[in-house]
Protein backbone atom coordinates (compact mmCIF):
# COMPACT_ATOMS: atom_id res chain seq x y z
CA UNK A 1 0.00 0.00 0.00
CA UNK A 2 1.32 3.44 -0.93
CA UNK A 3 0.75 6.13 1.67
CA UNK A 4 1.88 9.72 1.19
CA UNK A 5 2.23 12.28 3.95
CA UNK A 6 2.66 15.99 3.33
CA UNK A 7 4.87 16.57 6.31
CA UNK A 8 6.51 19.38 8.25
CA UNK A 9 9.22 17.92 10.50
CA UNK A 10 9.01 20.97 12.80
CA UNK A 11 5.34 20.25 13.56
CA UNK A 12 4.67 17.97 16.53
CA UNK A 13 1.36 16.72 15.13
CA UNK A 14 2.97 15.94 11.80
CA UNK A 15 5.79 14.01 13.51
CA UNK A 16 3.25 12.07 15.60
CA UNK A 17 1.17 11.18 12.53
CA UNK A 18 4.30 10.08 10.63
CA UNK A 19 5.29 7.87 13.57
CA UNK A 20 1.78 6.37 13.72
CA UNK A 21 1.93 5.50 10.02
CA UNK A 22 5.31 3.85 10.49
CA UNK A 23 4.07 2.04 13.62
CA UNK A 24 1.32 0.53 11.47
CA UNK A 25 4.02 -1.16 9.40
CA UNK A 26 3.82 1.21 6.43
CA UNK A 27 6.76 3.26 5.23
CA UNK A 28 5.12 6.29 3.62
CA UNK A 29 6.33 8.55 0.89
CA UNK A 30 7.24 11.67 2.85
CA UNK A 31 6.87 15.01 1.11
CA UNK A 32 8.29 17.85 3.15
CA UNK A 33 5.86 20.31 1.65
CA UNK A 34 7.72 23.43 2.81
CA UNK A 35 10.71 22.34 0.70
CA UNK A 36 8.67 20.73 -2.08
CA UNK A 37 5.26 22.39 -2.02
CA UNK A 38 2.39 21.07 -4.06
CA UNK A 39 1.71 23.04 -7.20
CA UNK A 40 -1.70 24.54 -7.88
CA UNK A 41 -3.00 21.44 -9.68
CA UNK A 42 -1.86 19.07 -6.94
CA UNK A 43 -3.27 21.25 -4.17
CA UNK A 44 -6.63 21.50 -5.96
CA UNK A 45 -6.63 17.69 -6.39
CA UNK A 46 -5.90 17.16 -2.69
CA UNK A 47 -8.66 19.57 -1.69
CA UNK A 48 -11.14 17.79 -3.96
CA UNK A 49 -10.21 14.36 -2.57
CA UNK A 50 -10.58 15.65 0.98
CA UNK A 51 -13.85 17.38 0.09
CA UNK A 52 -12.50 20.56 1.67
CA UNK A 53 -12.52 24.18 0.65
CA UNK A 54 -9.25 26.09 0.53
CA UNK A 55 -10.41 28.16 3.51
CA UNK A 56 -10.83 24.96 5.57
CA UNK A 57 -7.22 24.00 4.84
CA UNK A 58 -5.72 27.37 5.78
CA UNK A 59 -3.46 27.45 8.80
CA UNK A 60 -3.47 30.65 10.78
CA UNK A 61 -0.98 30.21 13.63
CA UNK A 62 2.65 30.84 12.75
CA UNK A 63 1.83 31.95 9.20
CA UNK A 64 1.30 35.19 7.28
CA UNK A 65 -2.49 34.59 7.43
CA UNK A 66 -3.26 37.77 9.41
CA UNK A 67 -0.66 39.85 7.59
CA UNK A 68 -2.25 38.88 4.26
CA UNK A 69 -5.77 39.53 5.57
CA UNK A 70 -6.96 36.05 4.64
CA UNK A 71 -9.91 36.19 7.02
CA UNK A 72 -11.52 38.65 4.60
CA UNK A 73 -14.36 36.88 2.73
CA UNK A 74 -13.42 38.75 -0.46
CA UNK A 75 -10.81 36.09 -1.28
CA UNK A 76 -12.07 33.46 -3.72
CA UNK A 77 -11.12 29.79 -3.49
CA UNK A 78 -8.78 30.24 -6.45
CA UNK A 79 -7.08 33.18 -4.76
CA UNK A 80 -6.70 31.25 -1.50
CA UNK A 81 -5.09 28.37 -3.40
CA UNK A 82 -2.71 30.88 -4.96
CA UNK A 83 -1.78 32.13 -1.48
CA UNK A 84 -1.12 28.56 -0.28
CA UNK A 85 1.05 27.83 -3.32
CA UNK A 86 3.01 31.05 -2.73
CA UNK A 87 3.21 30.48 1.05
CA UNK A 88 3.05 26.71 1.73
CA UNK A 89 3.24 27.35 5.49
CA UNK A 90 -0.44 28.35 5.11
CA UNK A 91 -1.33 24.70 4.40
CA UNK A 92 -2.59 22.98 7.54
CA UNK A 93 -0.73 19.75 8.12
CA UNK A 94 -0.30 16.95 7.88
CA UNK A 95 -2.21 15.68 4.89
CA UNK A 96 -2.19 11.90 4.48
CA UNK A 97 -3.18 10.16 1.28
CA UNK A 98 -3.68 6.42 0.92
CA UNK A 99 -5.46 4.04 -1.47
CA UNK A 100 -8.22 3.77 1.14
CA UNK A 101 -8.95 7.47 1.01
CA UNK A 102 -7.69 10.94 1.54
CA UNK A 103 -7.65 12.49 4.92
CA UNK A 104 -6.71 15.59 6.70
CA UNK A 105 -5.03 13.94 9.65
CA UNK A 106 -4.99 16.64 12.27
CA UNK A 107 -4.85 13.96 14.96
CA UNK A 108 -2.90 10.70 14.90
CA UNK A 109 -6.07 8.69 15.58
CA UNK A 110 -7.61 10.04 12.35
CA UNK A 111 -5.14 8.13 10.20
CA UNK A 112 -6.34 4.69 11.30
CA UNK A 113 -9.18 4.78 8.77
CA UNK A 114 -6.67 5.53 6.03
CA UNK A 115 -4.45 2.58 6.94
CA UNK A 116 -6.85 -0.13 8.05
106 is catalytic: no
Q: Using alpha carbons, list the distances in angstroms from residue 73 to 18, 51, 84.
A: 34, 20, 16
Sheet of strand 29-32, all strands in order from the earlier edge strand to the far edge:
29-32, 4-7, 95-98, 101-104
Of the residues 4, 11, 64, 68, only one is catalytic, namely 11
Q: Is the peptide bond before 94 cis (omega within 30 degrees of 0)?
A: yes
Nearest to 42 by CA among 102, 100, 2: 102
Q: Are 89 and 34 in contact (CB under 8 A)?
A: yes
Q: How many of the other CB atoms lie within 10 Å of CB of 5?
A: 25
Active site residues: 11
Amino acid sequence: MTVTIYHNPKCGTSRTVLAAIRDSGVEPQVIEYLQTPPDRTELARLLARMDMTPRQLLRRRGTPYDELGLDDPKWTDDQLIDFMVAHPILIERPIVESPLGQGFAARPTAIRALLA
